[in-house]
């Protein structure tokens, strides 16, 4: 890897990072001593202090060990939305010397069963609105289930709009394997000693499955700690800062940027389990929020609010994101407001960021530069030979945060972790390029390229062009079968409210012809109310792609 990017390195930071070689739970212990009564998390105006967070996580750990039989190294499912209970449960599992298996709240019974079987989990901590989906696993795959009710933590009144699933009263099913959350904590059981160290498993997130069946990424306390500390250090974040917890905590972006990292720092997070741009703006004003991490779609929506001018947003210092590329045109609109958006890049396999834009230079539509201890390269996907700047190839990454491998999947692990020059690199499956300054840019997923009459069309490039149209709010490009060209380009577009019913397909295609090469221009455009998104906010282009394949086959 070249060192051109070092001249853009954050001025306050050294090139290497010595992350603490400790269990993640120790971060909470430290913050609970330093900032005992300070709010760690605020949930619809209800605060949970660092001391209370540590105490409740410890009590839950005691219950897991003494009543559920959770032993060191056991995998425990965590299935709920962003909430105070999610954080308590996450750290309670760690305190029990077990491994957190965070699951997407959008998973249904079949997906849950597959993950439970794969992980070998016998215990789950679940929110009540999700209970009907996981209940069929009780008595077969799951032996114990702790059931959480979000409204248990809404003890102080709030004028904020609270979603119904958050305010819903407690409903405890009559099942011998199920114990209500408050009863588990009221037992006041104490766990044994904290025995798991830096190289023991800590967290096992499942991949989104964009390259096949979801796989459990094995992360130790050490691999997780590296990005927990690294992202906070990169931006010189401080304990005095307050952030919004928007990104889902089951996903590594939210888990690291808005939970583990802030607990390490001792800063406060205002939690929002369900996106609501009005509530988000109220919280920014009320708690003097300095920034947050979120996928671009949420940030776009926040600033698209026609009432945004009514709120004092002067406390915002910076916005961070990952999971999808921020369209350059949208980033420019934020800059015009005086807000800088810092893109980063990472995967479940790397427990969040491997690349981040440096504070003094955030390039648009850019993944950033490799952070502490990371060696990233763009290589030929067939030969794995490194390519020169400007050429498109597969991004491969070596670094302290790369997973050990996929749980119980040696063949998939061997295919993902390859040896290049005596070092183990993760094949990301992402196509990108690196410029002369050492900044990385995403081109597309390795398998997403559209072949139109022999011309290679990268959907994200066409999407980038379309985002420049002032009346386009969101766009997703897919390939559709074409008897003459092999494939043609189709666009699914969400228009800005004021343009709906006015901008025509022909007008937008004409605009595209004037702004991009002819072979990239969409042959058809479907105007839709919304694009399908994952629980982490990523646009589900595969769903639209499959929809078109099925339509063509019928």
Average pLDDT over residues 453-458: 69
Output the CA torsion sign for 203, 204, 205, 211. positive
Tokens 């993944």 belong to which residue?
367
pLDDT at 286: 97
**CA–CA separation, 316 and 328 (whole Å):** 20
Instruction: Tell me how far CA of residue 455 lies from CA of 452, 485, 486, 521, in angstroms.
Output: 5, 10, 10, 12
What span, in angstroms and rounded, lies between the C-alpha atoms of 131 and 135? Answer: 6
Alpha carbon distances (Å) from 388 to 385, 391, 435, 519, 550: 10, 6, 9, 26, 40
Per-residue tokens: 539:
């646009």
What is each CA distance from 242 to 31, 263, 283, in whole angstroms? 15, 12, 10
The span from the CA of 472 to the CA of 453, in Å, is 27
Q: Residue 471, by phi and psi: left (phi above 0), alpha (psi -120 to 50) or beta?
A: alpha
**Phi (first) and psi of residue 123, to 5 degrees:** -130, 145
**Mean pLDDT value across residues 235-243:** 94
**Lowest-confidence pick of 127-141, 268-282, 539-553:** 539-553
In whole angstroms, what is the distance from residue 204 CA to residue 90 CA? 12
- Contact 21/202 with Cβ under 8 angstroms? no
- pLDDT above 80: residue 165: yes
Which among 449, 47, 44 has a CA at the least distance from the CA of 273?
Answer: 44
Q: What is the pLDDT of residue 209?
A: 46
Q: What is the pLDDT of residue 502?
A: 95
Longest dimension (CA), the chain: 70
SS3 category, 492: strand
- CA–CA separation, 442 vs 36, rounded Å? 43
Q: What phi and psi, each to the nearest 5 degrees, are found at residue 442?
A: -80, 140
What's the mean pLDDT in 437-460? 78
Mean pLDDT of 35-53: 98
3-state secondary structure 52-84: HHHHHHHHHHHHHHHCCCCCCCCEEEEECCCCH
- Provide the sign of the torsion angle of the four alpha carbons 155, 270, 55, 62, taken in this order: positive
Higher pLDDT residue, 289 or 13? Answer: 289
The pLDDT of residue 58 is above 90: yes
pLDDT at 211: 41
Give the confidence band of 265 by pLDDT, cuts at 50, 70, 90: very high
Q: Which residue's entry shows tokens 């559920």?
A: 68
pLDDT tens-place string over residues 306-349: 999 999 999 998 898 865 667 777 777 788 877 888 889 999 99
Quote the CA–CA distance of 489 and 504 in Å, as a whole number: 17
Distance of alpha carbon 367 from alpha carbon 432, whole angstroms:
9
DSSP output for 250-295: TSHHHHIIIIIHHHHHT-EEEE-SS--HHHHHHHHHHHT--EEE--
pLDDT at residue 455, as a whole number = 66
* Residue 21 scores a pLDDT above 80: yes
Given a cut of 50, is residue 551 above it in pLDDT?
A: yes
| SS3 category, 147 | strand
Q: What is the mean pLDDT of residues 201-207?
A: 95
Record the tokens describing residue 20, joined without a space.
């603490």
By the 8 A CB rule, do 223 and 201 touch? Answer: no
Q: Do you know the residue count of the chain? A: 554
The full set of domain ranges for the chain reads: 450-553
Q: How far apart are CA 542 and CA 108, in angstroms?
A: 18
242-256, 321-335, 373-387, 418-432: the lowest-pLDDT one: 321-335
Q: Do residues 371 and 228 touch, judged by C-beta distance below 8 A?
A: no
What does the alpha-carbon distance between residue 412 and residue 114 come to, in Å, rounded to a whole number? 17
CA–CA separation, 521 vs 144, rounded Å?
54
Confidence of residue 208 (pLDDT cuts 50, 70, 90): low
- 536 close to 251: Cβ distance less than 8 angstroms: yes
What residues form DSSP beta bridges with 479? 489
Share above pLDDT 70 across residues of the chain, in percent, rounded to a whole number: 96
- Per-residue pLDDT, 482: 80
Instruction: Give per-residue pLDDT as tens, 86-116.
Output: 999 999 999 999 999 999 888 888 889 989 9
The pLDDT assigned to 210 comes to 40
d(CA 204, CA 249): 13
> Residue 390 gets which letter from DSSP?
T
User: Among 107, 110, 152, which Cα is nearest to 130's?
Assistant: 107
Confidence of residue 484 (pLDDT cuts 50, 70, 90): low
Number of H helices, E strands in the chain: 17, 26
In CATH terms, the fold of domain 450-553 is: GMP Synthetase; Chain A, domain 3 (3.30.300)
């Amino acid at each position: 890897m070249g060192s051109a990017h070092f001249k853009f390195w954050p001025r306050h930071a050294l090139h290497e990072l010595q992350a603490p070689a400790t269990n993640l739970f120790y971060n909470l212990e430290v913050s609970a001593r330093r900032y005992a009564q300070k709010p760690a998390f605020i949930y619809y105006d209800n605060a949970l202090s660092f001391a209370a967070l540590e105490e409740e996580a410890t009590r839950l750990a005691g219950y897991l060990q003494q009543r559920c039989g959770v032993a060191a190294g056991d995998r425990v499912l965590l299935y709920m939305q962003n909430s105070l209970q999610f954080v308590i449960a996450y750290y309670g599992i760690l305190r029990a010397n077990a491994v957190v298996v965070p699951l997407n709240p959008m998973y249904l019974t079949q997906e849950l069963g597959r993950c439970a079987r794969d992980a070998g989990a016998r215990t789950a901590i679940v929110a009540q609105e999700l209970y009907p989906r996981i209940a069929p696993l009780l008595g077969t795959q799951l032996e114990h289930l702790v059931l959480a009710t979000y409204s248990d933590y809404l003890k102080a009144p709030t004028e904020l709009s609270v979603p119904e699933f958050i305010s819903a009263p407690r409903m405890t099913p009559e099942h011998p394997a199920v114990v209500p959350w408050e009863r588990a904590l009221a037992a006041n059981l104490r766990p044994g000693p904290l025995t798991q160290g830096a190289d023991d498993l800590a967290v096992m997130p499942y991949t989104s499955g964009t390259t096949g069946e979801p796989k459990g990424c094995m992360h130790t306390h050490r691999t997780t700690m590296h990005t927990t500390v690294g992202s906070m250090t990169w931006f010189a974040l401080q304990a005095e800062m307050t952030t919004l917890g928007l990104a889902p905590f089951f996903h590594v972006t939210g888990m690291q940027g808005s939970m583990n990292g802030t607990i390490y720092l001792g800063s406060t997070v205002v939690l929002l389990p369900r996106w609501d741009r009005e509530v988000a703006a109220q919280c920014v004003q009320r708690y003097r929020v300095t920034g947050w991490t979120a996928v671009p779609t949420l940030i776009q929506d926040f600033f698209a609010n026609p009432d945004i001018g009514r709120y004092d947003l002067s406390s915002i210092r910076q916005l961070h994101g990952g999971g999808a590329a921020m369209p350059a045109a949208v980033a420019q609109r934020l800059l015009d407001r005086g807000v800088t958006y810092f893109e980063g890049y990472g995967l479940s396999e790397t427990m969040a960021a491997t690349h981040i834009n440096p504070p003094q230079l955030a390039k648009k539509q850019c993944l950033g530069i490799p952070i502490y201890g990371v060696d990233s390269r763009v290589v030929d996907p067939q030969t794995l030979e490194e390519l020169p700047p400007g050429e498109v190839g597969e991004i491969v990454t070596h670094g302290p945060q790369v997973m050990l491998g996929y749980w119980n999947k040696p063949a998939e692990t061997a295919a993902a972790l390859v040896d290049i020059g005596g070092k183990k690199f993760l094949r990301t499956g992402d196509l990108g390029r690196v410029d002369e300054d050492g900044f990385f840019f995403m081109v597309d997923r390795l398998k997403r390229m559209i072949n139109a009459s022999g011309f290679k069309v990268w959907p994200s490039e066409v999407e980038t062009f379309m985002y420049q149209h002032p009346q386009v709010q969101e766009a997703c490009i897919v390939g559709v079968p074409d008897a003459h060209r092999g494939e043609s380009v189709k666009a699914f577009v969400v228009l800005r409210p004021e343009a709906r019913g006015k901008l025509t397909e022909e007008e937008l295609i004409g605009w595209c012809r004037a702004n991009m090469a002819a072979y990239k221009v969409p042959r058809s455009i479907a105007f839709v109310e919304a694009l399908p998104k994952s629980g982490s906010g990523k646009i589900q282009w595969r769903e639209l792609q499959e929809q078109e394949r099925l339509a063509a086959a019928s």
